[in-house]
Amino acid sequence: MATAAIDERDEAAPHLRARVGDAIGRGSARVMVDLQAVTGPDAAGIAALLEARRVLETQAGGTLVLRTNGVVCRALRVTGTIAAFALWNGPGM
């Protein structure tokens, strides 16, 4: 599984698009996006996550998993998008 860590708010959306694109280009169908360092998810960032999910779902076995924190979870709930993602609740959550 390829992992993309997002940590800079202003660059999150384009960074995410680029990283997921790279992962798919390398043949990774399962991608985890580490959002634990994100402090202020905005609409553009969540839209980028949804777009990444759509792209991955076109791949055989494609899966997008989010590693989130409380702020990100709240933003996903507020926007009604939390059910659209698989959330990883592994160690450290």
Contact residues toward another protein (CB under 8 A) are: 10, 13, 40-47, 50-51, 75, 78-81, 84
For another protein, the closer CB: 34 or 42:
42
For another protein, the closer CB: 34 or 51:
51
Residue 80 beta carbon to another protein: minimum distance, rounded to whole angstroms: 6
As a whole number of angstroms, the distance between CA 89 and CA 26 comes to 26
As a whole number of angstroms, the distance between CA 93 and CA 91 comes to 6
Residue 12 beta carbon to another protein: minimum distance, rounded to whole angstroms: 12
Q: Map residue 33 onto helix, strand or coil.
A: strand
CA atoms within 13 A of residue 51's CA, in its CB half-sphere: 15
